[in-house]
Structure 1
């Protein structure tokens, strides 16, 4: 795919008036300016490009992220650096993954457990194939997390849109190495898993990379098998697998997001003490509601949660373009859905 991105694009992030007793500022972004705001962190790497502002031949502006294929021999390094993004001198710690992400900047992060709403429009191009492995576009993580995994993630493996959460694997019969349980809480109709399915998995350690690299590109801190995450029945009654301490209610399937704009709304309370909450809407339809143990123990309110958007994948031989627009984050639903059409009850 060849794209001309010599035009100047822009991001404007406006901190709205803080709510009374709010734990975090309200953040709005229409991506209209000519440079990225310091409320965003752009994770620069050799394989990515960022641009901001008006999209050619469209009426809207957006943050545009492009991820390209890296040579497969350019992925291993064992010097650690936070976030895996470029330092001021342009160097970064290669981790076996390819990414092109915007991160919420440190100064606007909300404390863990904040009752908070997110609304954004996302564009995912049609490059992802039915055989594509791990491909995350949009995730929420915890600072200094007990586990190197996202609490909540939008996954596009195998060209199927799903949303998953991670929790500690408390199954007494688990394989000791499977310390995490991934639970799917929303899915596109074509996905091989349905909400309520929990799949046990381990983390890939640095020492495992050399042997695993013979077969596939991996990212430190992520599981090795991430295309369909094992075989799963198409219809699952209630919670199955390692999922515990959760209630997952499905209302609708996720829409097909490829090659088009999709409006997402999330209502989050990310806590691991059985009072966690995730509600999801897409294009004005309620998709699912998840309650219970969400995230990892111990829960430390002093830590903060952060959102990042853009491609994060194993090595792939194709280029992918993602875009982010109409971003609003607030502790008030009225700020993200003022007329009640994007997140109906």
Structure 2
């Protein structure tokens, strides 16, 4: 079933027109990672910098979800022992001219698989993230407005926005959860940001994410009761709709293996001086300084202006 979904998706959006259109919002991008390099139709590249020198990218055919190949991304120790503010990355970026405006909605899809031995330590790991461009006049370190993360072997999704004090009548967090209409949040006034916990995997326990110790109604979650796939060596297909709205009106939708997981609506993203006009997506392993090599696999990347441009029509019912 999983393989059928990925192959159907690629068939739906192939062949693609050349990336010569003027408006990135209308583009349909795809890369099945079946060749020896990124496809011209995918608009992706491996960014070269100091942090990324800790990583490696391999187009291989041994571990794949659909088609002839898949992308293997790995990070190895690179930061000096005890260093702070140093990270190790092997992230794939969208090409800058193809980025979508920050206040526009866009759909992303990709298949992802953890290695046979995913990390299980209490450490920060990120496998996909969405950010706003940061200009030279911006002050601060702005976290991704949407991120697919892992800690202690547990997968979870976070959403970030500007700091908003919780209402005085906000309920308390109980066993890591908030009542309907409220969302667990990590208040970070020292960074002028706050981070919501919006989805977890079936093995999650409150001890994995203890910093989410308040409830807020600045973001409201609706949808099914499904959970994220666990960090295991199995392929799963992820689809995300992103439309930031730092002052309200933002929306994120998540589907896994073609099934709706949740919809998040409310304050999403940042609206600070010096931030750029576009959003952008990166995927691949990212961590603070760590030990040993960590590997992830990715396949069937898609981006499009609507659900049907990245998923089969049956999966898009109610998503338009």
**Fold shared per TM-score above 0.5:** yes
1:277 and 2:251 equivalent?
A: yes
Q: CA deviation at 1:242?
A: 5.8
Q: Counterparts in 2 of 1:156-195, with a 5 A limit?
A: 156-171=150-165, 176-177=189-190, 179-193=192-206
1:333 and 2:281 equivalent?
A: no
Indicate if the aligned counterparts of 1:272 and 1:296 stay in contact, CA closer than 8 A. yes
* 2:78 corresponds to: 70
My pick for the range that moved more, 158-167 or 30-39, is 30-39
My pick for the range that moved more, 295-304 or 14-23, is 14-23
| Corresponding residue to 1:30 among 32, 48, 55 | 32
* 1:111 corresponds to: 101
Count the aligned residue pairs: 275
**What do the CA deviations read for 1:43-71 (whole angstroms, capped 9, x no partner)?**
34332111125336886411221111236
Cα gap change, 1:126 to 1:184, in 2 (>3 Å): farther
* 2:112 corresponds to: 122
Q: CA deviation at 1:266?
A: 0.8
Q: CA deviation at 1:337?
A: 1.4
Find the residue that maps to 2:190 and give its secondary structure: coil
Q: CA deviation at 1:316?
A: 2.3
My pick for the range that moved more, 120-129 or 260-269, is 120-129
* 2:45 corresponds to: 41
Indicate if the aligned counterparts of 2:161 and 2:269 stay in contact, CA closer than 8 A. yes
* 1:136 corresponds to: 126
Cα gap change, 1:14 to 1:168, in 2 (>3 Å): farther
**What do the CA deviations read for 1:151-177 (whole angstroms, capped 9, x no partner)?**
100001111110101111111797752
* 1:267 corresponds to: 241
**What do the CA deviations read for 1:14-63 (whole angstroms, capped 9, x no partner)?**
86478997634221111122223573231343321111253368864112
Q: CA deviation at 1:312?
A: 0.6
Indicate if the aligned counterparts of 2:24 and 2:99 stay in contact, CA closer than 8 A. no
Q: CA deviation at 1:149?
A: 0.9
* 1:86 corresponds to: none
**What do the CA deviations read for 1:175-231 (whole angstroms, capped 9, x no partner)?**
7525221101111022234xxxxxxxxxxxxxxxxxxxxxxxxxxxxxxxxx93426
Cα gap change, 1:177 to 1:22, in 2 (>3 Å): closer
Q: Counterparts in 2 of 1:208-247, with a 5 A limit?
A: 228-230=208-210, 241=214, 243-247=216-220
* 1:291 corresponds to: 265
The one of the two structures with greater contact order (alpha-carbon pairs below 8 A, sep at least 6) is: 2
Indicate if the aligned counterparts of 2:108 and 2:240 stay in contact, CA closer than 8 A. yes
Tell me the distance in 2 between the aligned counterparts of 1:261 and 1:343: 23
Gaps of 5+ in 1: 1-12, 77-94, 194-226, 233-239
Find the residue that maps to 2:194 and give its secondary structure: strand
Tell me the distance in 2 between the aligned counterparts of 1:314 and 1:273: 30
My pick for the range that moved more, 55-64 or 259-268, is 55-64
1:61 and 2:66 equivalent?
A: no
Aligned alpha-carbon RMSD (Å)? 3.2
Tell me the distance in 2 between the aligned counterparts of 1:75 and 1:299: 30
1:249 and 2:222 equivalent?
A: yes
**What do the CA deviations read for 1:235-256 (whole angstroms, capped 9, x no partner)?**
xxxxx71634211125211122
Cα gap change, 1:122 to 1:241, in 2 (>3 Å): same
Tell me the distance in 2 between the aligned counterparts of 1:241 and 1:111: 31
Tell me the distance in 2 between the aligned counterparts of 1:241 and 1:124: 31
Tell me the distance in 2 between the aligned counterparts of 1:57 and 1:165: 29
More helix by share: 2
TM-score by length of structure 2 reads: 0.75
